[in-house]
Every structure is written in structure tokens, then in C-alpha cells.
Structure 1
Amino acid sequence: MLFRFVRLLLVLVLTVAMPALVLAQTGIPLLGETAQPAAPAPQPSQQTAPQQAAPNGTAQPSQPPVQAAPPAPQAAPVQAQPSDELVAEQQKALKDLVAKTDDFAKQIDDNQEDDSALVEIRTELEDLSRQALGTATVFRPRLTEINARLEQLGPPPAQGQPAEPDIVATERKALTTEKAEINAIVAGAQTLSVRIATMGDKISTLRGELFRKTLTKRYALNDLLSTKLAVDANAEFSNLYSAVSSWFSFVLKFKYQAALAATLMALAAALILHILVRRIFGRIFEPDPAVEEPTYLSRLSAAFWSTLLPTFGLGVFLTLAYFFYDYYAVLRGDIGLFLRSIIGVILIVFCVYRLTNAALSPNVPNWRLIPVESGPARWLVALSTAMAVVLGVNGFLAVVNEQMGSPLSLTVGRSFVATIIVGLILIMMGLVRPFRAKSGEWRPWPAWLRFLAYALGIITIVAALLGYIGFANFLAGQIVVTSTLLITAYIGFLSARAIGAEGGFAETSVGRWIAGRTSLEEGTLDQLGLATSIALNLLIVVVFLPMLLLMWGFQFADIQAWAYRIATGVTVGSVTISLFGILTGLIVFILGYFLTRWFQSWLDDSVMARGKVDTGVRNSIRLVVGYAGMALAAVVGISSAGINLSNLALIAGGLSLGLGFGLQNVVSNFVSGLILLAERPFKVGDWIVAGDVSGTVKKISVRATEIETFQRQSVILPNSNLINSAVGNWTHRNKLGRVEIKVGVAYGSDVRRVHEILLEIARGHQLVLKNPEPFVQFVNFGQNALDFEIRVFLADILNGGSVQNDIRFAIIDAFDKEGIEIPSAPRQQVPHAEKEPWPTDDDKTEALHAEEQAAKEEAERNQPKNRRKPRRPDPT
């Protein structure tokens, strides 16, 4: 039985993947679909056309348009020979399928008591069903051609109308006959598919009744107390010894070299596997005794992997050994069966031993999952292993009894002894006192666990004593094997949950290794841990669920058929959901996503960076490439998943309706984002002013633009606002810009000296450009002061704040030396008042208006004048 576990693990991928690929390439419908017969060609209504005048003036009745359309020379020839051969071939194939179905119906009646035979018959029937549906699908292209041609030919002329050409009538008759034959084959295939489905339901019913009969059948225990049982056992042992010794002698005489080669190859594979596992997973499944307080996640991971990996490695080794012995023809039929059974026993015992050692850790108390004392832990490990050994030996003897046709007394006797021993071991495990209080008193298990062990042990013993050997044997097997699988899976689920918790992955050895060799942030590690947790959960389900099903009476063919159905498609109404298609689509999309990210990085770092492309241009190209790659990956992924994009027309219509109402702003922002990326009125790094927002552009996406103000506040502006409103860009083509510093002096000051001082200060600053040269303008006669304005040009407008600051300090120092007074009275209604700090967050349009006004005043000042303006008298 356990050999089936290993075979399941090796074949599961092929079982899931290959049928879907084959069906996808051949066009054969999935299991459960019904081939739909082609609908007959629509019959257009007869209309009588008016008479038309002939050239000679006589009236002639006009022909209907459909009859006049295909003239005789254009009529397509009848495809007689190829189509007839195809019909005859499929008719013969359908007859063969019907004959095989009849044969399987007889086999069902003959094997109603053989569960394995019933499972094999149902597998063959499912294959026949697929062949029948494939027979129907072969004619789909031909039916499409026939229907299209019949529509071109139109209906036959009605009574009283002129006859159609003979070639057209002959073609229509041939096509109609061929269509009837094809429809008959399709109907026969559908009928056969329905019959096969009915036979499958019958097999399921028979298997259920057989399982219930096995559990409820009562055996007489009279032979157990007689000497006949000992005689039968001695004869059985002699037969087994004779079979094994004869095979061994045959191998030594005739197959010695082949057996030696198979043994050496199996040992070499085991050595390589051992080295690889130790080298790659050594730290995972080997608890470190030096760690005094391992974390809960570390203990869970060690328990899970120390059970799963060694068991899987041993199973691979034993399977390879069996494969090599079988490949070199060393094994005999019965010996091969015995060897598979022994492999199963070894794996069960080893798995139970590893699991109990991992959970109880009698020799490494710090890594113990269950807080029991070391002495009881050793007892529990020994009792659990003994229980697995008893059940394993019982399973091996069952195979021997079945192969050698042993009497019923031996079957009942060995099962009776095994179930009694298992029941006693369960009671002994419930009697163990594993906990010890601080006072030194030993305490038992919790009440619910202790009474559960008692109940299971007593039920097993009582069922065996009453003669219900099948039920007792089944219960004992489930107690050991199912419990082992469930506990291992539960530990795996706990480990996956701990890894997926916040900060859990970073505490693992793998997480620490990744963090030490990469620059991933903590949030990225958490996301990686979540993905690892999901992958572990899926792995546990895929591995342990088939094993549990096999333990509960299901056959490998059952699981194979279910996996095939899930992989190739489950039909819900008119929708077919294919797990294989969905996984394929996801894989294609993920590959496209990472390929797009790689291409973005390569284009940005290796192409545009070397070409000294502007940062804003690089960002725009990077975004466009990213969105295009993601869209392409999504389309290819959807197509790979088997979803017809034409079926999304209804969704597109619904989206169009939604766009007309609730998604107007979203679409407007999206289109505006595309316009911004194409026209590039501003780019990343530019200093822009949009309404009340002023700052540096940090990111441009298709929905919104992120602006960081000079107070380090991030403002998200919808793109439509930037398209529909005025936007000022201080660094559009370059960073050259002009700044103004306003200053007022008291009435009575020497304005010409003030002008010279201010111009000297402006020219003396190292960041002020010489060309265009600085300029000082006498702006206005204010209420309390004479207003001046310094205008300087900077190579980088972003340095305006520091330049203004330096010039103001220089003005204060120079005015103090010259004795020039700056009025301290507050000024009111001063036009173009200066704003602080630099750069400001106010609307830069006001600065533009100020610049226009200053330019107008400067133009007026530069006009030729014949007289100077009189100086205002001193009010003192």
C-alpha cells in the first residue's frame, strides 16, 4: 500500500499536467462535456420577387435571390471519398467502443466483490468516455462546413417554382445525407457517454456496499482456540520460506551480476541523496543541542522537516532500489509484491519513529514540542513505534496470505492478534504519567486525551473479541497511520502559520540568510514569508491529502481521476474552471511581470543612464514600458488560462456603462496621465506650482502625480487637475531663474548712493550671474519709504532662498556703514509685498504678475525724459 504513496508522489505531476496538454492540442472535450450536434441550417422565408422585363419586352418571372446566387459552374464538388472514409472509420470506432463497454458491463457483474478490479474498470470506462466524446468532436469542422454550404445553397425551391440545377440538387442531397450520418454518430457517442456514466455510478454504489460489508462482517473465532491455527501458520511459514529461498538461489545462480549492479546503483543513489540532504537541509531537520532556548517556530520547523525530509529521502531510496531490481529483471512476481509490502512497512515504522522523536525529543529536552519528562517521552516513543511495527507486520502478512491463498483462519488469527496488541498499547499510552509537578508528583494526561486513548483501545479490543475483525483492523490502522499523517500535517500547518506571521520569516535560518546577503527591507521579507507560508500550506495539502484518502479505502485510480478532473476542468453550469489553466495563466503572468521588471531595470541602468538621458525622461519611459509590459503579460496570461478574450465583450460593455457614470474621473485622470507622460510639460525633479501647491515632482503615474512641498509634505494631485488648470514650472527647460529682493529706505536718503550700494552687493555675490547682469530698480514712492527692488539671475533657481538671505545680510551691513535708514513703521497696501520663506508655497502666478508690472515700469523708466522729477522736500 505504501508503495502507492511513493508512486502517487512521482506520478501526480504527470497526472495533472499531461492530460490537459494533450486535450488542449487535440481539441478533445473535457470529461463531463457533451458534444452538441450541429444545428440545422436556418430556412429563410420564401418571398416572391416581382416580374422583370426581358430585353425583348416580354415579362419573365424572376428567380428567388438564393436560387440565382449559386450558378451551376460555381457549385462546389461533393467531398465524397474523404468524408465517407471518415464516417466509416468513426462508425467502426464507435462500434468497438460499444463492444468494449458491453465487456466491461460483464466484468462489473463478475467482480462485485473485488474493490481493486472495480476501480480499474471505472478507470477504463472513463477512458472510453473520453474516446466516445473524441469521436463526436472529430466531425465539428466538417459539420461547420456542411452547415455553411447549405446556407449558401439556400432552401430547395417551393412547389410551383422552377427547378434548380441538377448539380445544386445533387450537392444538397449529398450534404444532407452526410449530415444525417454524422448526427447519428454524434448521437450514438452521446448515448454511449451517458451509459458509461451510469456504469460509473453503479461501480461507486458497489464499492460503497463492499466497504460497509467489510467493516460489518462478523467472523467466527472458533479456530483461534484449536491446534489447526498453529498447523496452518507453520505451513504458511514453510511456503513463504520456500518461495524466498528458491528465488534467492535463482538470483545467486543466474542473476548475480544483475543483482549486484542493482544493489550498487541503489547504494550510490542513496549515498548521493544522503550527501545532498545533509548539505542542503542538514541545519533544518537536525536540532542543535547547543541552543538552550529555541523559538517556537524553530521547534515546529525542526519537528516538521525532521519527519518529512528523512521519510521522503528513505522512500526515494527504497523506490529506486525496487526500480533497479525490477529493471534488471531480478524480481519475480510474488517477490516483487512482497518487496513492495516490506518497503511500505519500513516507511510507516520509520515515519512514526521520526515523528514521535521530533515531537517528544527524549534526548534534546530544549527542542521538545510537548512538555513531558524525558523518561515518559522514551516510553511513548517506544510504544508508538511498537504499534507501528505490529500494524506493519500485520499488513505484510496480509499480502502474503493473499498471494499464497492462505486459509481464512490465518487471516482472522493474525488480524485478531494485531488488533488486540494495538488496543493494549493504546491503553498503556493512556496510563502513562508524562508530567511532573514541582512537588515531584507525577501527573497523567489531560482527561479528554486520556479517556480518548482508553476508549479507542477498548473499542478495538471489544470489536476483535466480538468477531468484527475487519472493523477492528481498520480502526487500528487508522489510529496509527491517520494519526501520524494528521499530526505531521498539523505541525506543518503550524510552522507555515508561524512563518507567515509578522516578522516570523526573518527569524528563520533561511530568512536570516536572505537578509544577510541581500538588501531586502523588513516589509519585503514579511511578504516573502507570507508567500512561503502559502506555498507550504499547498504543499502539505498536495502531499498529505492523497495519503489520507488512500488510508481511508480509496484507490490510487480514484485520486488520479479526481486530479485529472480538477486539472482539466470542472464544469459549473456553462462555465468550465480548469485548475491547470489557471495555474498556467498565473505562471505566465508572473514570468511576464518579472521579465518586465528586468527589462525596465536594464533599459534604465544600461541604456538610458549611459546615454545621459534626463531623469524625467527616464522616468516617463520606464513607466510606459512597465504599463505596456504588465498589460501584455495580463493578456498572454489570460489567453494561457484558456479564457477566450472575446467572451470579455460583455464585461467591456458593462465597464463602458460604468465609465459613463461613476468612473468618469478615473478615466479622465488615466488619460491625463498618459498625456503628461507623452507631452512632458514637467518631469520628475521639476519645481512646479499648481494652484495652492508648490513643490518638487516626485512621481508621475497614470492616475495622479506626487508633489513634495518644501515643508516635506507629499501632495497627491489628480492628473486631470494638472491638465485642466494652469501649472507653473520653474525648471521646465533649465534651472535658470530670477529672484527679487525688495528693500525700502527712508525719505531723505541719497537714492543714487542706495542704488549704487544695492547694485554693488548684487554683483558681488558669487551665485549671481554676470549675464544677464543684475539690475536694481527704484520701484515706487511708498507711504513710509522709498521702495527699491534687486533683480538677479541664478543658474539654479533652487538656490534663490540662500541668495536672498545673503543679500539681505549684506544690505543691512552696508546701510549701517553708510548711515542709510530703513523705516521701521509698518507698511500697508504695499504692492507686490514680499513673501517668506524662499521658495514659497504661494501661487507663483502672483510672482509672474509682479514681474510683468516691474518690466512695464522698467520700460517707462528707460524712455527718454527732458526733465528730472523734483526731489520730495524733507518733512522736517
Structure 2
Amino acid sequence: MIWSRRPAALAAAFLLLLALGVGLHPSHAQTPQPAATPATPAPAPAPAPAEPLPDVGTLRSDFEKLPEAAVGADAVRALQARYGALIVGANKVIAARTGQLKDLNARLGELGPAPAAGASEDPDITRQRQTLTRERNGVDADIRLARLVVVDAQQRSDDLRNRQRDLFEAQLTGRAPSPLGSVFWQQLADAWPDDQARLWPLIDELRMALQRMGQPGHIGPVLLALALAVLAMTVGDLAAEHGMARLAQRLLPRGRLRRSLLVIAIVTVNLVVVALAMRGLLHTLRAHAAFGPLSSKLVALADDSVLFIAFVTGLGRALLANRRPSWRLPRIPDALALRLNPYPWLFALVGVLVWIPTQISEIVGASLAAVHLVQTVTALALALLILGALLRLNGPHAAAQTPAAEGDAAPAETARPLWVGLAMGSVALALVGVIVLTVAGYMTIGSLLAAQLAWTGLVGVTFYVLFKFADDLCMAVVASRSDFGQRLQRGFGFAPATLDQAAVVLSALARLVLFFYMVIALLAPLGTRPDEVLEQTGRIGSGLKIGEFQLVPAAIFSALAVLVGGFVALRVFQRWLRERYLPTTTMEPGMQSSLATLLNYVGVVLVVAAGLSALGIGVNRIAWIASALSVGIGFGLQAIVQNFISGLILLAERPVKVGDWVVLGTTEGDIKRINVRATEIQLGDRSTVIVPNSEFITKTVRNMTLSNAEGRVLIRLPMPLATDAPKVREIMLAACAAHPKVLPTPAPSLSLEGVETGMLVFQAICYVDGPRTAGGVRSDLLFAMLDAFRQAGVEMAAPPTVVMPPLPPAPV
């Protein structure tokens, strides 16, 4: 009762593995199903001039000729497809006529309104207005009729879907006699003669086809095609897999990406080889055998069953990797992988064995008792298969030491996560429910639940591979350790932490997109066909309205692309500005840094604005958000906004700049960076003080290097009154002139300040190239002057001596 949907590739929607995996899920043939929810196609763009535009009258007549109801899932699906074609044609008419209507309205607007009664007008203008009015009314009538066709066709399609859903729910909850009772088997025996009579036409067609293939002119090509197909699906498949493994080992670097990519490559090559072999075999069979209408359906569906076997076995063999344990993608022990080795084959064979009676009962139109028997066999077979897999997973050494996979760290003792136990418990409860429902007579629900469990497992394993591949690809391409990541570091100057963060974000986005498709594949009953996945994608992709904001997935990706491209371009511009253009100008380094920072802020604002515009948030919405945030700014964000505006003032007016030596209160040091909110000042002990920008605007700041970058060295020395003052003057000026860091212009000077406490006070002043070197030069000059005084015999002033009188003796 399952395994009947034809696999197909999803062009430009999935990777090849995902496309084939999604399309391979089978469905119940006899169980009535609700028709796939048709998505209303978006209005198509105006067709090319060479493409004929559908006629509205023809569309309406075709719609009235279509029936309002159909019998059977295939007939309902075909009728819904015809309604969908009518909707697409009507939307083409609406799109084309809407553009014509706008042009006609614009031309009428250029002519102006009709004159009032009794007023005169040029006859040519009157005729033009009348002609344009008639054309506009005709175009407007076509648009209205086309919209009516869209509404009516959509309503009928919805009615068909609702009827199918009601019929599905009615038969789904219907109860049949229990297979444990005699009534079930008695009904099957009563219906057997009729079922046998329905089988004979199919058997006769197959017998005639075999007889024709056995004739001398046909037996040779058929046997040759069969031998080639078997050879390709056995020896050719294994050789292709071995070749892919060797090719991956030679071309791809060691790491996780090679493992996940090898799994996808093995499954893809397996499917391609089997698909080509089956295409050739079926083409030969159709050419040399006269299949009837019933046997043609059976032969056409045989291709799907073989592809399903190839997909399941290839995926299981690639994941378990018993021949290459170090390449195994899931971290499971070798013993568990060996125990699970036959299960991909068992799963595929059980699916095909269930598929055969399902398709035969659908083709010949078997009785309800036969359908119930097929449902019972399907439910019990799948339940026993899944139960066996659970027992193997719960077997001994299931949580043993995992092997060291390629690109991973050393093996470690791993324990089973909690969610794995919960999932296995839920599956076990579902299997119990399948068996109970089937035994109780609810075969339809039981078979549906069993098939959904099998489908969920297949989808989960497929998307596990895709999740791993997406994560490994992002980490191998964008992360800082990858070759491309190192090129990004060298070319654009990205920090390693930035690249690692970008790799994690891109991996999360890729997994989110895959999760979106996985949910679509799991939500549909009994599997999802590729066209249904695309319909669901188109419906959700048209947008989700949250309040007054339309959230469109395409707009989200566009905004992300704009942000990524904008910030990369901004980084390239910043690099060019700092390394190529600004060094060629006459601006000082501090001004260059301030200008680059200011332009960076402007670029960030422009990129964010472009991203919001791509997301669909216009200037009016941004203004509304700003007005809504004004209350918060007035209360909680006042200091942040004040510091931000102060930072912009510092960058524009430049009272201080990067490289200046400033004194702000008790803080004295060099400005290293001016950020949006605060400024970094490096002190003499190499520590950094973070000062809010508003401090430089509202308080007094002493800028030691604003207008003059020279530093002053001041030395005051007290000398005795008997000192030879000219000689002291000569020694001190000679020491200043001899120091290499003392500037000759302005020249050093010395003055006698006066007499203080019986001492002559000499003061020397000289200048150096910057205030940062003034302290070191002053120390060097003091050493040199003291040494020169000692050599010249000039006595220095001795510190005053204080003599304390003796203390009186303590009283007895």
C-alpha cells in the first residue's frame, strides 16, 4: 500500500541527493489521500512578444467544460492540474492587461478631463479620448473576467481538495473486521473469485509480453540488455564506488568535508548508474514486448522500485562504511555498524515486497477485503522491520567506544544522549500502536502510521547527511583554518575570529534552509513528491505576514546578500583607503585614522540601510521605528546617544585626534583610538583608560600636541650664594647643547630666578621633538650637569640641617 510515487529530481531546489531522496518516498495506492494543496500561482510577468497570450473567452469556456468532481486520486490530481493551468493562463492575462491599463490611464491623464457641458474642445482630442476610453473599458473587462476565472477555478480546486480530505478521513477512521477473527478471512475468501477475475487481464498481458520477448527476433536483445543492466548495477556500481573513494582520497584534503562529500558522491553515483541501466533495460523491453495498458503501468513503476532500492542501499552502505571505518560519518562503534549492515537491504526489499501487491491491487482495482489484507501485511512488515532495527540499536556495545574518524580527535567513551533514548521510546510506542490498531481492525491508520515511521526515518537519515555536508562545507571554505579562509585573511584583512563566526553563521543558515525543506517533506501524509515540495515552497516563499510587515524569505536572503557584499566591499575600500590613498596625502597619521574611522561609520550606515531596503523596510518604517525608540532614548539611552554624537564631533572638529598627548583631569597619556562611544587613552605604564566621548566635549582638556608637537624640558637647580654664576650658566647650557635630542631651535636658555632660602636658583629650558621624550631627556641632562659640576669643582647646595634639642629626663 506504499511505495508508489515516482521519484523525480527537484531542479534548483535541492542537491541531487536531496532531490532523489525526497522523490523516492512511496505512498498508499488504495488508501484515499487528500489531494495536494494547490498553491495559487503568483501572477506571471508579461509574456514575450512571441508567446501568444491566452484569450479570456477561451479560458472561460474551457473552465465551464471541466467537471466539478472526479473519482480516484489520479483523476482528482489531473483535474486539479487542469484548473491550475487555467489559473496560470488567467494570471498571464491579468499581468499583461494590467500594464496596458496603466498605459491607457496615463494617456487619458495626459489628455485631461472631459470639458464641461456646453464647453468646446478640439474634435481630434475628443476622438482620442473616446477611443482610449473604449480601449480602457475593454481591457478592464478582460481583467475582471480573468480574475473571475482565477477565483472560480481556485474555488473548484479547493472543493476537490476538501472532498478528497473528507473521503480520506472517513475511510481512514473506518473499521474493518480484525485479521484475528474469521470474518476477515471469510470476506477475503468471498471476494477472491472477483479479485481473481480482475487479475487475469494483467496476467494475460504479461504472458503475451513474455511470449513476444521469447521469439527469435527479440530474445537476443532482451537478454543482452538484461545482462548489461545486471552487470552495471552490480560490478559497475561497486567499481564506481571504489573509484569515487580513491578519487576523493587523492583530490580532497583530509577532514570532515571529505567524509560527508564521499557519502553524497557514493549515493549519487549509485543512483546514476542504476538509473541509466534501468532506462536502457526498460527501453529495450518496450521495444521488443507488446505491453498492454495494465502491464505498462506495472513496468513503468518498476523503475521507481529499483531506484528506491539503489537509494536506500547506497545511503546505508555509505553511512555505515564498514570497509572504511575511519571515513564513517556518524560516530557509531564498529560492532553496531556491523550489526546494522543488513538493514538497508532489508528495508529496501521489504518496501519492494510490500510495493508489489499494492501496485497490483491498484492496477486491477482489487476488492476492499484485498486492500485490507495488503494494509495489514504492510503495517506488520514495516513494524517488525523497524522493531528489529530498534533491537539492534539497543544491543550490547551500543554505546561503546566510537572509532576515531578522519579529521576528528582521539576516540573517547561516549554515552547515548537523552534525546536518542526519548526518540527510540517514542518509536517503540508508535510501533505498539501500529500493531494494536491493525489487530483491532483499523488497518488504514495502522498502515499509514507504519509507512510514516519508515518515511520519517528515511528523511531523517537523508537530511542528516545534508546537515553534515552543509556544516563541513562552511567550515572547510570560510573558517580561518581553511585555505580559502587564509586567503581571505591575507586579501581582505579579516580576523580569524571573524571568519570563524561567519562560518558558524553560514552553517546555521544552510541548516535552517534544509530544516525548512525537511519539515515540508515530513508534514505531507505518506511522503512528498517533488512537485508538492515546490508548491509548498512557493506558497511559503510568497511571504508570511506578521502584523503589517510582510516577511518574504527571498527578501531575507537578498538582505543577507546585500549585507555580506556591502561589508566585504566596505572592508576592501577601507583597506585601499588606509594602505594606498591616505599615505599619499599630506595629512598626518592622526587625521588619516580619524578620516578612515568616520568613513567607516558612514559606510556601515549605508550598508545597513541598503540591507533594510532589500528586506522591504523603507525609510518611512525606519522613521517610525526611530520615533518609537525616542522614548527609550529619552530615558535609558540618553548617555549612549550623547557619547555617540560626541564621538562624531571629535572626528569632525578634531579637538583631539589619534596620537595626541592629552591631560584630562588626573588622566594623562596618548590617544590610541576614537570609537563610537568612548576613546582609548594609553598611560605611561602601558595601561589603557576608556573615557566616554562626552568627557572631551563637556570638560576642560589639555592637549599637549594640538598646535605644537614640541616638548619642553625645565630644570631648576639651587646653588650656594658663593657659587660662580657664569660658570654654572656655561656648564648647564653646554650640557643642553651636547644632548642629541635637544632641538637647536629654539635654542636652550638659562635664567637666574632669584634667591630662595639663601640659595641661588638657576632655571634651564630646552625643547625636544615631543613631550613624550621630555622626561628621559631631563633625566639625562641632570646626570650630565651633576657630573660636570663635580669635575669643575662647583659645590652644590647642601640640604639644611635641623638640630633637635635633647629631651628632658622623664620624671621618676
Q: Tell me, yes or no, whether TM beats 0.5.
A: yes
Equivalent residues of 1:740, 1:789 under 8 A apart: yes
Aligned to 1:138: 99
| Pair 200,712 (structure 1): closer, same or farther in 2 beyond 3 Å | farther
Aligned to 2:753: 779
Distance in structure 1 (CA, Å) of the matches to 2:718 and 2:147: 101
Equivalent residues of 2:248, 2:262 under 8 A apart: no
| Pair 574,93 (structure 1): closer, same or farther in 2 beyond 3 Å | farther
| Pair 489,559 (structure 1): closer, same or farther in 2 beyond 3 Å | closer
Instruction: Kindly state the Cα deviation for residue 170 of structure 1 after the two structures are TM-superposed.
Output: 6.2
SS at match of 1:707: strand
| Pair 449,719 (structure 1): closer, same or farther in 2 beyond 3 Å | closer
Aligned to 1:792: 766
1:605 aligned onto 2:579: yes
1:207 aligned onto 2:164: yes
SS at match of 2:381: helix
Structure of higher CA gyration radius: 1
Aligned to 1:395: 355
Aligned to 2:404: none
Aligned to 1:478: 452
Instruction: Kindly state the Cα deviation for residue 802 of structure 1 after the two structures are TM-superposed.
Output: 1.1
| Pair 173,606 (structure 1): closer, same or farther in 2 beyond 3 Å | closer
Distance in structure 2 (CA, Å) of the matches to 1:115 and 1:720: 72
| Pair 172,512 (structure 1): closer, same or farther in 2 beyond 3 Å | closer
Instruction: Kindly state the Cα deviation for residue 695 of structure 1 after the two structures are TM-superposed.
Output: 2.0
The letter of the residue matching 1:98 is R
Instruction: Kindly state the Cα deviation for residue 601 of structure 1 after the two structures are TM-superposed.
Output: 1.6
Equivalent residues of 2:43, 2:91 under 8 A apart: no
Instruction: Kindly state the Cα deviation for residue 644 of structure 1 after the two structures are TM-superposed.
Output: 4.8
Equivalent residues of 1:769, 1:792 under 8 A apart: yes
Distance in structure 1 (CA, Å) of the matches to 2:284 and 2:664: 82
The letter of the residue matching 2:163 is L
Instruction: Kindly state the Cα deviation for residue 807 of structure 1 after the two structures are TM-superposed.
Output: 1.8
SS at match of 2:55: helix
Instruction: Kindly state the Cα deviation for residue 626 of structure 1 after the two structures are TM-superposed.
Output: 3.1
Distance in structure 2 (CA, Å) of the matches to 1:775 and 1:537: 75
Aligned to 1:577: 551
Aligned to 2:534: 560
Instruction: Kindly state the Cα deviation for residue 125 of structure 1 after the two structures are TM-superposed.
Output: 5.3
TM-score by length of 1: 0.66
Aligned to 1:340: 304
Aligned to 2:403: none
Equivalent residues of 1:588, 1:633 under 8 A apart: yes
Equivalent residues of 1:394, 1:415 under 8 A apart: no
1:820 aligned onto 2:795: yes
1:311 aligned onto 2:253: no
The 5-angstrom pairing of residues 78-117 of structure 1 reads 93-104=55-66, 106=67, 108-109=69-70, 114=75, 116-117=77-78
Aligned to 2:382: 422
The 5-angstrom pairing of residues 176-575 of structure 1 reads 180-213=137-170, 215-216=172-173, 218=176, 221-222=185-186, 243=209, 277-279=248-250, 283=254, 310-312=266-268, 314-315=270-271, 318=274, 335-352=299-316, 354=318, 357=320, 374=335, 378-383=338-343, 385-395=345-355, 398-399=358-359, 402=362, 415-428=375-388, 434-435=395-396, 455-461=429-435, 463-464=437-438, 468-486=442-460, 489=463, 513=482, 523-524=497-498, 526-549=500-523, 552-571=526-545, 575=549
Which moves more between the two structures, 733-742 or 271-280?
A: 271-280
| Pair 453,746 (structure 1): closer, same or farther in 2 beyond 3 Å | same
SS at match of 2:9: helix
Instruction: Kindly state the Cα deviation for residue 687 of structure 1 after the two structures are TM-superposed.
Output: 2.5
Instruction: Kindly state the Cα deviation for residue 499 of structure 1 after the two structures are TM-superposed.
Output: 12
Instruction: Kindly state the Cα deviation for residue 588 of structure 1 after the two structures are TM-superposed.
Output: 2.3
Equivalent residues of 1:371, 1:435 under 8 A apart: no
Distance in structure 2 (CA, Å) of the matches to 1:5 and 1:790: 96
Give me the identity figure in percent.
25
1:171-224 Cα distance to aligned partner (Å, 9 max, x none): 666666555555444443443333333224323312322432553454854476
Instruction: Kindly state the Cα deviation for residue 747 of structure 1 after the two structures are TM-superposed.
Output: 4.3
Distance in structure 2 (CA, Å) of the matches to 1:571 and 1:181: 34
SS at match of 1:153: coil
What is the root-mean-square deviation of aligned Cα atoms in Å?
A: 5.6
Aligned to 2:9: 7
1:356-380 Cα distance to aligned partner (Å, 9 max, x none): x37xx79969989788893x76445
Q: Give the total of aligned pairs.
A: 723
1:751 to 725, 729, 741: 725
The letter of the residue matching 2:109 is A
The letter of the residue matching 1:820 is E
1:268-298 Cα distance to aligned partner (Å, 9 max, x none): 99898666655566855799xxxxxxxxxxx
Distance in structure 1 (CA, Å) of the matches to 2:87 and 2:587: 63
| Pair 245,527 (structure 1): closer, same or farther in 2 beyond 3 Å | farther
1:712 to 679, 686, 691: 686
Structure ranking higher on relative contact order (CA contacts 8 Å, 6+ apart): 2
| Pair 371,644 (structure 1): closer, same or farther in 2 beyond 3 Å | closer
Equivalent residues of 1:285, 1:306 under 8 A apart: no
Instruction: Kindly state the Cα deviation for residue 796 of structure 1 after the two structures are TM-superposed.
Output: 3.9
Distance in structure 1 (CA, Å) of the matches to 2:283 and 2:594: 62
| Pair 626,102 (structure 1): closer, same or farther in 2 beyond 3 Å | farther
Distance in structure 2 (CA, Å) of the matches to 1:210 and 1:697: 78
Instruction: Kindly state the Cα deviation for residue 587 of structure 1 after the two structures are TM-superposed.
Output: 0.7
Instruction: Kindly state the Cα deviation for residue 755 of structure 1 after the two structures are TM-superposed.
Output: 2.2
Equivalent residues of 2:479, 2:503 under 8 A apart: no
Distance in structure 2 (CA, Å) of the matches to 1:243 and 1:409: 30
Equivalent residues of 1:705, 1:718 under 8 A apart: yes
Aligned to 1:47: none
Aligned to 1:742: 716
Equivalent residues of 1:129, 1:193 under 8 A apart: yes
| Pair 627,569 (structure 1): closer, same or farther in 2 beyond 3 Å | same
Aligned to 2:739: 765
Equivalent residues of 1:136, 1:189 under 8 A apart: no
Aligned to 2:85: 124
Aligned to 2:113: 153
1:672-730 Cα distance to aligned partner (Å, 9 max, x none): 65555456555433323455543222223455443322233434445555466665544
| Pair 562,455 (structure 1): closer, same or farther in 2 beyond 3 Å | closer
Distance in structure 2 (CA, Å) of the matches to 1:728 and 1:325: 91
| Pair 348,363 (structure 1): closer, same or farther in 2 beyond 3 Å | closer
Instruction: Kindly state the Cα deviation for residue 805 of structure 1 after the two structures are TM-superposed.
Output: 1.5
The letter of the residue matching 1:340 is D
Equivalent residues of 2:671, 2:679 under 8 A apart: yes
Aligned to 2:402: none
Instruction: Kindly state the Cα deviation for residue 739 of structure 1 after the two structures are TM-superposed.
Output: 1.9
SS at match of 1:7: coil
SS at match of 2:342: helix
Distance in structure 1 (CA, Å) of the matches to 2:660 and 2:565: 35
Distance in structure 2 (CA, Å) of the matches to 1:180 and 1:650: 40
SS at match of 1:697: strand
Instruction: Kindly state the Cα deviation for residue 534 of structure 1 after the two structures are TM-superposed.
Output: 0.6
The letter of the residue matching 1:99 is S
